A and B are shown apart, each in its own frame.
Chain A
Amino acid sequence: MLTITGKPVYGAISIGPLALFHRNTISTAARTITDPEAEVQRFQSAREEAAAQLGQLYEKALETVGEEDAAIFEIHQMMLEDDEYIEGVESHIREEMLNAEAAVDRTAQELAAMFRGMDDEYMQGRAADVLDISRRVEQILSGGPAIDFSRYDQVILAADDLAPSETMQLDTKKILGFVLSGGSASSHTAILARNLGIATVVNTGTQIHTDLEGKMAVVDGFTGTVFLDPDEATLAAMQEKQKQAQAERERLENVRGKESVTQDGQKVLIYANAGNPADLPRVVASDAEGIGLFRSEFLYLENDDYPTEEQQFEAYKKALTAMEGKRVVIRTMDIGADKKADYFDLDPEENPAMGLRAIRICLTRPELFKTQLRALCRASVYGRLAIMFPMIISVEEVRKAKALLAEVMARLKNEGIPCAEQIETGIMIETPAAALVSDALAEEVDFFSLGTNDLTQYTLAIDRQQTKLDDFFDPHHPAVLRLIEMTAKNAHKAGIWVGICGELGADLSLTEAFLRMGIDELSVSVTSVLPLRDKVRSLNLKA
């Protein structure tokens, strides 16, 4: 038995024979030709055929994976039609009397080198696209059959990495699992595997020897472990784990579309957390009843400069539209502490977790904050928006933030720009101070959301990044639970709703305690939605 490890991409277990991905050998060896015009003709007809194949792939991808993932083939077609590409190949043929295969290869290498040399990660990645389209042309020129994808039937496929066109030609229903020596958790193959729900481990860094072809393999997509030629005990253990995972998934499907309600009739809203518009399809698929925490930091962290109002508006609109009228709680920027963007020019701090961050930056630099609020207000007409302010410690801060929001709304009204009449406004309760004055804070807002990660760190004075403190860290510390209970009581006294958006919300051992406190909403990661609903439905608080 051989065990290799990599990054887990999709949590499932698959067991089956191992197949190594073979690419046809294409000869791009240079030869001197005598009739350049005939060679140009060969190239042109191969190029046209390649473009036609890509057109078919695009159509197929549109049906199977949707427009966003299919767009790559449209781009590939455009690349094949590029004058510079065509002229590059033709001039290698005419001027150097080179055969078409070698001319295509040289042009591809030149363009790939140009992309690799660019200072932008996205553009560097386009080198793979140029090589992918050229390989297709070379394949046709070589006259060899295309890769025999039908070979890969009910197998675990091992490869270095797969090009988008290769994954698309695979009949993915027949692939049990992927083991990639390269690739990253965000590579095209990883995204596809996640969408299709195929057990996948990437970036193992290990080339699998051809001797193992056809041998049994187990992919544990939960832990990122791959067992090649497993011994009997391992195989039996993994078969059991697979059976359990499968049974659990099927069982949880039973609560899809059902209400999150206990047996004695107490309801709770189960929402999902999202960190990026790219998460939206998974949120929708997770069966969440809304978004309880949409982090807006990505807009700031993925940029080299302050995001514009327009950019922000588009992102918020996308989230609201995707959720089709379900509540979307967008948290205003929580920059600072471990989430820093250079252009904010924040001074280095001794103690960043307690430094200039989140609402403190917003109130110090109101113009920056108003841009975000304006984008939020403009997006508010596209769905059910709720705005949430992070890191609050006092009533005064909430009043200031609300005053800025009112100012932005009034200004939009004056300008005749549409904005919802009423926007739900709430705050994060993530400091002991906020929990302790939650009675006063509740008079100011429409809802509370308990950020249990920070609340725990501040209450216990334990830095959670510091693994040496693990022995001292008790996520269920009574001090934290008392603050949560107190916050819930004060919220209900003032007639507002209260939720939990930190990791504790998904902790099934606390679900009953939270429901007893009357928590109205739990916002969790997409994979926790169904398990949590299942737990809620199993409880009987009156029993």
Chain B
Amino acid sequence: MKTFTYAITDAAGIHARPAGLLVKEAKKFESKISVAKGARKADLKKLFAVMGLGVKQGEVITVDVEGADEEAAAAAVEAFLKANL
């Protein structure tokens, strides 16, 4: 399993559009990917679940990736977060 954390810098937090694109990115991989804010966890392949976390600017999320392509998936999700959020 791969785990990393990321602090959101986008002023609007994880709002609808980047959340949609983030889910799209996650769906490219077979691995199970989850995102957690504090004690709350969501499947990163589910848009409403990700939006439901209500992640705001400055908050830290933890991403867990587990599966055959976890290396590539973790790298891609992290790169997406850095570039867009």
Q: Which of B23, B43, B49, B54 makes the CB contact (< 8 A) with A78?
A: B23
A residues 129-175 touching B (CB-CB < 8 Å)? 129-130
A84–B49 contact, CB under 8 A?
A: yes
B60 within 8 A of A: no
Query: Most chain-B CB neighbours within 10 Å: which of A75, A114, A129, A308?
Result: A75
Given contacts A75-B16, A78-B20, A303-B11, contact A111 B48 (CB under 8 A): yes
B residues 1-55 touching A (CB-CB < 8 Å)? 9, 11-13, 15-17, 20, 23-24, 43, 45-49, 51-52, 54
Minimum CB–CB distance from A521 to chain B (whole Å) comes to 31
A307–B11 contact, CB under 8 A?
A: yes
B46–A84 contact, CB under 8 A?
A: yes
A303 / chain B contacts, CB cutoff of 8 Å? 11, 57
B54–A120 contact, CB under 8 A?
A: yes
A residues 282-308 touching B (CB-CB < 8 Å)? 302-305, 307-308
Minimum CB–CB distance from A293 to chain B (whole Å) comes to 22
A85 / chain B contacts, CB cutoff of 8 Å? 47-48
CA of A57 to CA of B15 in the docked complex: distance in angstroms?
A: 21
Please classify how large the interface on chain B is, using the bins under 10, 10 to 19, 20 to 34, 35 or more: 20 to 34
Minimum CB–CB distance from B9 to chain A (whole Å) comes to 6
Q: Which of A78, A81, A308 makes the CB contact (< 8 A) with B9?
A: A308
B54–A119 contact, CB under 8 A?
A: yes
A82–B54 contact, CB under 8 A?
A: no
A310 within 8 A of B: yes
Closest-by-CB residue of A relative to B16 is A75
A126–B51 contact, CB under 8 A?
A: yes
B47–A122 contact, CB under 8 A?
A: no
Q: Dominant SS at the A interface?
A: helix
B58 within 8 A of A: yes
A78 / chain B contacts, CB cutoff of 8 Å? 20, 23-24, 47
Inter-chain residue pair count (beta carbon < 8 A): 59
A71 within 8 A of B: yes
Q: Which of B9, B24, B56 makes the CB contact (< 8 A) with A310?
A: B9
CA of A305 to CA of B7 in the docked complex: distance in angstroms?
A: 15
A65 within 8 A of B: no
B16–A83 contact, CB under 8 A?
A: no
Minimum CB–CB distance from B71 to chain A (whole Å) comes to 24
Minimum CB–CB distance from A69 to chain B (whole Å) comes to 13
CA of A130 to CA of B48 in the docked complex: distance in angstroms?
A: 10
A79 within 8 A of B: yes
A84–B56 contact, CB under 8 A?
A: no
B49 / chain A contacts, CB cutoff of 8 Å? 84
B56–A82 contact, CB under 8 A?
A: no
Q: Which of B24, B47, B52 makes the CB contact (< 8 A) with A114?
A: B52
CA of A305 to CA of B59 in the docked complex: distance in angstroms?
A: 12
B12–A118 contact, CB under 8 A?
A: no
Q: Mark A61-87, 1 if CB is under 8 A from B, else 0.
A: 000000000010011001101111100
Can you list 24 A-B contacts with CB-CB less than 8 angstroms, sorted by A residue number? A71-B17, A75-B16, A78-B24, A79-B20, A81-B47, A82-B23, A85-B47, A85-B48, A111-B48, A114-B48, A115-B51, A115-B52, A118-B52, A122-B12, A122-B15, A123-B54, A126-B51, A303-B57, A304-B56, A305-B57, A305-B58, A307-B11, A310-B9, A311-B11
